[in-house]
Amino acid sequence: MKKIQIEGNQLLEGTISISGSKNSAVALIPASILSDEKVTIDNIPNISDIDALNEILTYLEAKVEYQKNTMIIHSDNIVNKEIPESISTKLRASYYFMAALLGKYKKVEMYFPGGCKIGLRPIDQTLKAFELLGAKVIENKNKYTITAERLIGTNIYLDMPSVGATINTMLVAVKAEGTTIIENAAKEPEIVSVATFLNSMGAKIRGAGTSKITIDGVDQLNKGFTEVIPDRIEAGTYVLAGALMGKNLIIKNLIPKHIESLILKLKEIGIPMKIGTDSIQISKTDNLRSIHLKTLGYPGFPTDLQQPITVLLTQCLGDSVLQETIYENRFQNIYYLNKMGANIQIHNDKIKITGPTKLVGTEVVATDLRAGACLVLAGLSAQGTTVISDVEHILRGYENIVEKLQTVGAKIEIIEI
């Protein structure tokens, strides 16, 4: 069993380079099968969620060449067969295949997707969109059989700006007859990257990145190339490492605009930063101010940085209040932060963090991906040794996290027990 062990309280100095975005790459890969021609995706992060998608592609008999950070996918002879539960539950993004296969073949059979256990994570908006576009959805014990005689564009209002439902609707609408309009669409950069990629292959999508996306259906998509955008959540995680332990730590190859909400909250807290076009230099400082914070869809503060920023809030003077509005169960890290010496109380969807408190290393569990990132940050800033178990959650989403932190002076290693 793999664990991450950290000897904390070491200053972090040097440069960390940000990898391709997990949540963009996991949508671009399924999107690529809409084309019958060769598609190349560059800057893919080397993480286990990508391996799981590669497994689905191979299972569907797509031709895949995956070397280093580049994947070449040729989907002209895919076998559109049922995707079993053992594969679909490996990650959340498996459900992008639901949409891509439906869009391409007007039929798909697969099970409810997996992903971190941070809430119920229903997919009703995706299924509603499929039905509005003309598909028939049959659900039987977590298995979905979705078929359509014709897919016909229509106007779809999403009840909430869901990232998954927005991308899934685009993936089906791209080859539907006529025009689809998605109202109350999610605006995350990952959505823009999928739309740009599909457009480069011949799709006609306008408005991605706004709450109204218009898609004119086309008959076919051509060959494609894209480069995955930098991972804004990985970037935000290392920026937070810099706020906790940085000595002129430089985070490079990021898009500062994509983490503007984090940058502005760090300014409120009182963290000094130098922001370049594609880099941020950041240092640890004293006298941090407590803040109020609420998670929201983009460009609001991302839920995926909620757990990581909690560590910094333990170092701020007074009471910080943080409200999680996206997931019902994204506070599993709090038990372990308190075990390390934090003073955090949970009240329904809010937590109150009273600081500053010294953190002390101990044994903790990464219950989910971003809880794991939070505990890595806590371990880096704590006195003594932190041992994190269930690290496979962390390795699902952060490319070379141990090596990247070692390069800037962290005493962190993977141990086998």
Interface with ligand EPU, residue 119, by CB under 6 A:
yes
Q: Which CB, 50 or 412, lies closer to ligand EPU?
A: 50
Gyration radius of the chain's alpha carbons: 21
Confirm if 190 and 167 have CB atoms less than 8 A apart.
Answer: yes
Subset of residues 139 to 198 that bind ligand EPU, contact rule: CB under 6 A: 160, 162-165, 186
Min dist CB 95 to ligand EPU, Å, is: 8
Position 125 contacts ligand EPU (CB under 6 A): yes
CB-nearer residue toward ligand EPU: 26 or 250? 26
Residue 327 binding ligand EPU, by CB under 6 A: yes
Longest dimension (CA), the chain: 63
**Order of strands across the sheet that contains 143-147:** 107-111, 143-147, 136-140
DSSP 131-164: HHTT-EEEEETTEEEEE-S--B--EEE-SS--HH
**Active site (annotated) includes residue 116:** yes
Laid out side by side, the sheet with 350-355 consists of 292-294, 318-323, 350-355, 344-347
Does residue 122 belong to the site contacting ligand EPU (CB under 6 A)? yes
Q: Is 116 in the site for ligand EPU (CB under 6 A)?
A: yes
The active-site residue, picked from 44, 83, 116, 181, is: 116
Report DSSP state, residue 113: P
Of 34-42, 53-61, 123-131, 200-208, which segment contacts ligand EPU by CB under 6 A? 123-131
Residue with the two structure tokens 């100095």: 13
The binding track of 303-322 with respect to ligand EPU, each residue x by CB under 6 A or -, is xx------------------
Nearest approach, Cβ of residue 329 and ligand EPU (Å) = 10
| 108, 48, 75, 35: CA torsion to nearest 10 | 80
Q: How far is the CB of 303 from ligand EPU (least distance, A)?
A: 5
CA neighbor of 232 nearest in space, from 24, 31, 62, 43: 24
Catalytic residues: 116
List of residues contacting ligand EPU (CB under 6 A): 23, 26, 92-93, 116, 119, 121-126, 160, 162-165, 186, 302-304, 326-327, 369-370, 397
